[in-house]
Structure formats: structure tokens, C-alpha cells
Amino acid sequence: MSVKHPKLFEQLKALAGVTAAEWLKAEALAQEQALKKKDCFVRPGDPSDRFGVVLQGLFRAFRVSESGGESVKAFRSEGEMIGPYAELLQGIPSLTAIEALEPSRVLFWKSRDFQRLEQGHACWSMLARRVAEQHYILKERREQEFLDLSAEERLLRFWQEYRRLEKRLPQREVAAYLGITEVALSRIMSRRRKRA
């Protein structure tokens, strides 16, 4: 039996020592979902009982305030994990929407299936730990940026981190991630062009 997603297997093998035999078990439990632009992998209020890996495409994880404003928490593209992880840990419905920004495909698992994998081999617990550590570091860095950096400095840092997505992200989404209006983002970009 051959591995269906060799690139993903190699990535997880390097990250947490996932063996070929364990990956074949995981693939057997996984489901694949195709999403069109604007389709949601998860909506607020959905059960937080699944997570996945982006095989193709681009997603934004965001929340909507009571006044209707959107705050983008993160962008995820090929090879990255998506899911309402914090809500899953708390056992509550999702507070986050995860929406495709372009036609996308996701390989996903139900949390109960992942728990079965974890009970069978330590590599899955290691994977969960490594993913949690990566997400913690990203959240800590983002929080520090909001405390220490101006909007322009946050924009520069954003493009350093997300350079590979520059042509794929609309300005509106970048502004929502930075916590500023699209107009403010345009002004920052205009000032930078004048200084260049």
C-alpha cells in the first residue's frame, strides 16, 4: 500500500517522527474536502471536532464582532494546519470562521479519530505537541507586535512572514489582520512608495 500524500507524510515525519505505517493509518481515517472560494471549513457555532491540513489553497481564520467588524487571526496555506484548535481544547463550539480565500482542498480528521491514533503510537502526541508549540509561538509573536510596533512596522513584519502569499492576499484581508482599516493600509503603502 502506497502513501497518497507523500509530501505531507515527509513533513510530518520530519516534525514528529511519524512512521510510514502510522501515516497509512492516518490516511485511512482522513477525509478530503474541496472548497470553493468563500466556502467555510468551519463556521462559528459549528462543533470544534475536526482539524485538517491544507493540501491546496488559502484560508483565513477570523472572528466577527457584535458590531459586524472582522478580525483576521491567521492565514493558512499549503502544508499548514487549520481548525478551531483552542475551542477543541476547551470542548466548546467554534468561535472562529475558517474560510477559503481561493479554491482549496483540505485533508481532515475528526478529533476522535486522532485520539485513536494517539493511543496507538507516541508520534501523534509528539505531533500535537509540536503543532501546539508552533501556534503558541505565532500567537506570542503577534501579541508582542500589537504591543510594541506601529501599524507600519506590523505591515513590514507581516510581509516578511507572509511574502509567499503577497500576490494571493487582498488588501482588505491584510488590513483586517493588522487591525487597521483598508484606508489606513492604503495610506501607509502610499507613504512608503513616496519614501522609496
The pLDDT tens digits of the residues spanning 33-72 come to 999 999 999 999 999 999 999 999 999 999 988 888 889 9
Beta strands in the chain (DSSP E): 31-35, 40-42, 50-56, 58-64, 70-77, 81-82, 97-100, 104-110
What was the pLDDT predicted at 82?
96
Contact 43, 93 (CB under 8 A): no
Cα radius of gyration rounded to whole Å, the chain: 18
What was the pLDDT predicted at 1?
62
The residue-averaged pLDDT of 98-114 equals 97
Contact 77, 161 (CB under 8 A): no
The pLDDT tens digits of the residues spanning 151-183 come to 999 999 999 988 999 899 999 999 999 999 999
Beta strands in 21-143 (DSSP E): 31-35, 40-42, 50-56, 58-64, 70-77, 81-82, 97-100, 104-110
**What is the reported pTM?**
0.91
pLDDT class for 190, splitting at 50, 70, 90?
confident
The pLDDT tens digits of the residues spanning 3-23 come to 899 999 999 999 999 999 999
What was the pLDDT predicted at 196?
67
Residue 147 scores a pLDDT above 90: yes
Backbone torsions φ then ψ of 36, nearest 5 degrees:
-85, 165
Which carries the bigger pLDDT value, residue 192 or residue 75? 75
Question: At a CB cut-off of 8 Å and minimum separation 6, what does 191 contact?
Answer: 152
Structural domains of the chain, ranges and CATH numbers in brackets: 6-148 (2.60.120.10)
The pLDDT tens digits of the residues spanning 108-126 come to 999 999 999 999 999 999 9
